[in-house]
Amino acid sequence: MALDYEESKQKIIGGLQKKSKSKSKFYFSDLAKILDAKPREAKKIVTQMINEGILEFWSSGSTSMYGLKGAGKQSAAEHENE
């Protein structure tokens, strides 16, 4: 059964905020775990959240991660938000 978008969105936002003190970037598998969904189902939700600007990609070049938009030191340190 397809996941409900609004419900899943709240789950992810809640899940990431809960951990926001210790980290700001998460692997895709962390998000799939929060949703308790198969990767392909989770990807649809995550992609929509990216398109809506709720989540943002972070990439080291070799590995990609996800974070709530604007969260974490990285963006401040890069002067991206100034």
List of residues contacting another protein (CB under 8 A)? 27-29, 38-40, 42-43, 46-47, 50-51, 56-64, 67, 74-75, 78, 80
Tokens in use for 25?
Answer: 């970037």
Q: How far is the CB of 60 from another protein (least distance, A)?
A: 4
Nearer to another protein, 11 or 71 (CB): 71
Do residues 57 and 63 touch, judged by C-beta distance below 8 A? no
Q: How far is the CB of 46 from another protein (least distance, A)?
A: 7
Give the three-class secondary structure for 11: helix
Question: By C-beta, is 15 or 43 nearer to another protein?
Answer: 43
What length is written for the chain?
82
Angle at 48 between CA 37 and CA 72, to 5 degrees: 90
**Is 22 or 51 the residue whose CB approaches another protein more closely?**
51
